[in-house]
Chains A and B, each alone.
Chain A
Amino acid sequence: SAVISQKPSRDICQRGTSLTIQCQVDSQVTMMFWYRQQPGQSLTLIATANQGSEATYESGFVIDKFPISRPNLTFSTLTVSNMSPEDSSIYLCSGELGVSEQFFGPGTRLTVL
């Protein structure tokens, strides 16, 4: 298994500002993923982050709004840009050890006022 940490665990932000969420994995993983989860709902994939290449975004998510960095095999960041209240959600990162075998971080709970 893998241990994944995220920072911050929660934040309250003002409309129009940006927040960068950090994700650290305790082992090297080729693929990392960023998800969004509304309370009581399932997970929605935002993007897939490979080390050394541009992130791949899912339909409805764009790089200008959710820029992602993946500087090495154990770390990634997701920035939520120009936030609005609709961006209030839980943001989760995961790392993949085996095919489709993903381990998740504890999540970042974001509230935008």
Chain B
Amino acid sequence: QKEVEQDPGPLSVPEGAIVSLNCTYSNSAFQYFMWYRQYSRKGPELLMYTYSSGNKEDGRFTAQVDKSSKYISLFIRDSQPSDSATYLCAMGGSSASKIIFGSGTRLSIRP
């Protein structure tokens, strides 16, 4: 079993839809949870960074962490074609700097 599981997609939704991206994990030591967006032929861009459980909102993006279920989500409201990218979840422990990445979900927003 991988430490972090993420559905690779591809996921295709119409413009304006709400997108839900998810990851599950097995290591209860993870305390820091990140979402990265990666456009084709570019490096990953840190989108959301959260500590422990709870919600964090930034514009159209909301990150949720449920440590009891070992489940994290990223919601994108009013999705735009410019949101089309691969989204990678990533997690880290409190004392180790090494982070573990999910396999990434390829998202396409149809105009």
Contact = CB atoms under 8 A, between A and B. Distances in A.
Interface of B: 31-32, 34, 36, 41-46, 49, 88, 90-94, 97-99, 101-104
A104 B98 contact: no
A105 B44 CA distance: 8
Contacts of B43: 4, 92, 104-107
A100 B99 contact: yes
Contacts of B31: 99-100
A-side interface size class: 20 to 34
A82 B104 CA distance: 31
B88 A42 contact: yes
Interface string A95-113: 0101111111111010000
B98 A45 contact: yes
A14 interface: no
A100 B97 contact: yes
Given A99-B92, A102-B46, 17 more contacts: A33-B97, A41-B103, A41-B104, A42-B101, A42-B103, A42-B104, A43-B88, A99-B31, A99-B32, A100-B31, A100-B34, A100-B99, A101-B34, A101-B49, A102-B34, A104-B43, A104-B46
Contacts of A17: none
Contacts of A33: 97
B92 to A, nearest CB: 3
Contacts of B93: 100
A96 B32 CA distance: 13
Given A1-B46, A45-B98, A100 B92 contact: yes
Give the one of A1, A48, A92, A101 with max B CB within 10 A: A101
B46 A48 contact: no
Contacts of A68: none
Nearest to A50: B97
A104 B43 CA distance: 6
Given A43-B44, A107-B42, A96 B101 contact: no
A31 interface: yes
